[in-house]
């Protein structure tokens, strides 16, 4: 049975990215791949809760420290001229790079991208987007698998390839969001109350 997040192409005709942005400048969760619109299906209740928790923690921490900007899907990110237009579950852009944020999309790679994965998107997130984000220059990439209850954190190494970042004693420390750390247990169901987590972080 296909996952709730399995995606399908809803338009077969090719179109430029700017036309796609005009057509899809609403709340639809769509991505632009090889000139075609790819519509992502709905999420499970568990995924939605996890997305909300991670996105809220990231947004609150970044805002409190004045580090930059956080956007959540369906906002677009396009790593380069020939790259697909993706809508990550959440992404962070440093304050010095805010000018790259346009009205409907991020013009270039975010500094950090977060994708919540399940059986229907595991290959997309772990293989296809992994390669795209690596080649496109996304400095840090988190893949949080809601079904396997596992999180992997990657950062660009000196050779511009992703390396797996360590988790020490159940705590992960971001390499690009200054001062941010997470308890990996927070990424499993049930999450702690958001205010409880933020009291620890801030």
CATH number at residue 91: 3.90.1570.10
Q: d(Cα 155, Cα 138) in Å, to the nearest integer?
A: 8
What lies within 8 Å, CB to CB, of 109 at 6+ separation is 77, 79, 80, 133, 136, 137, 138, 139
Task: Give mean pLDDT, residues 66-92.
Answer: 96
Residue 74 resides in a domain = yes
Among residues 20, 3, 34, the alpha carbon closest in space to that of 116 is found at 3
Range of the domain at 135: 45-201
Residue 144 resides in a domain = yes
Residue 121 resides in a domain = yes
Residue 160 resides in a domain = yes
Question: Where residue 6 falls among pLDDT bands split at 50, 70, 90?
Answer: very low
b/e 166-183 (16+ beta carbons within 10 angstroms → b)? eeeeeebebbbbeebebb
Long-range residue pairs from 28-34, CB within 8 A, at least 24 positions apart, any chain: 28/74, 29/73, 29/74, 29/87, 30/74, 30/87, 31/7, 31/76, 31/84, 31/85, 31/86, 31/87, 32/76, 32/78, 32/84, 32/85, 33/84, 33/85, 34/84
Structure confidence at residue 56 (pLDDT): 96
Q: What 3-state class would DSSP assign to 185?
A: helix
Residue 39 and residue 61 in contact, taking contact as beta carbons nearer than 8 Å: no
Which has more pLDDT, 18 or 92?
Answer: 92
Structure confidence at residue 146 (pLDDT): 83
Structure confidence at residue 41 (pLDDT): 63
Q: pLDDT digit string (tens) for 114-168?
A: 999 888 888 999 999 999 999 999 999 999 998 888 999 999 999 999 999 999 9
Q: pLDDT digit string (tens) for 12-66?
A: 468 999 999 887 555 567 899 999 998 876 678 888 899 999 999 999 999 999 9
Structure confidence at residue 119 (pLDDT): 81
Residue 71 resides in a domain = yes
Task: Give mean pLDDT, residues 178-195.
Answer: 93
Residue 154 resides in a domain = yes
Q: Does 9 have pLDDT greater than 80?
A: no
Q: Does 75 have pLDDT greater than 60?
A: yes
Structure confidence at residue 120 (pLDDT): 81
Based on the structure, what is the number of domains in the chain?
A: 1
Residue 39 resides in a domain = no
Residue 60 and residue 72 in contact, taking contact as beta carbons nearer than 8 Å: no
Structure confidence at residue 95 (pLDDT): 97
Degrees (nearest 5) of the Cα angle 173, 56, 147? 75
Give the dihedral sign, CA 93/97/103/109. Answer: negative
Q: d(Cα 41, Cα 165) in Å, to the nearest integer?
A: 30
Residue 35 resides in a domain = no
């Amino acid at each position: 049975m296909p996952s709730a997040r399995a995606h399908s192409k809803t338009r077969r005709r090719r179109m430029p990215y700017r036309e796609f942005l005009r057509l899809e400048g609403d709340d639809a969760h769509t991505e632009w791949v090889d000139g075609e619109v790819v519509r992502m299906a709905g999420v499970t209740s568990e995924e939605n809760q996890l997305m909300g928790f991670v996105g809220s923690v990231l947004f609150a921490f970044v805002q409190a420290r004045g580090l930059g900007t956080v956007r959540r899907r369906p906002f677009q990110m396009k790593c380069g001229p020939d790259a697909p237009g993706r809508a990550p579950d959440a992404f962070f852009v440093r304050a010095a790079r805010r000018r790259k944020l346009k009205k409907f999309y991020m013009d270039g790679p975010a500094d950090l991208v977060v994708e919540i994965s399940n059986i229907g998107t595991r290959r997309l997130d772990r293989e296809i987007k992994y390669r795209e984000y690596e080649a496109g220059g996304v400095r840090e990439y988190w893949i949080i698998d809601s079904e396997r209850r596992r999180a992997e954190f990657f950062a660009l190494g000196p050779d511009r390839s992703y390396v797996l970042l360590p988790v020490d004693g159940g705590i992960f420390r971001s390499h690009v969001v200054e001062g941010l750390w997470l308890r990996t247990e927070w990424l499993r169901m049930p999450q702690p109350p958001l205010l409880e987590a933020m009291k620890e972080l801030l």
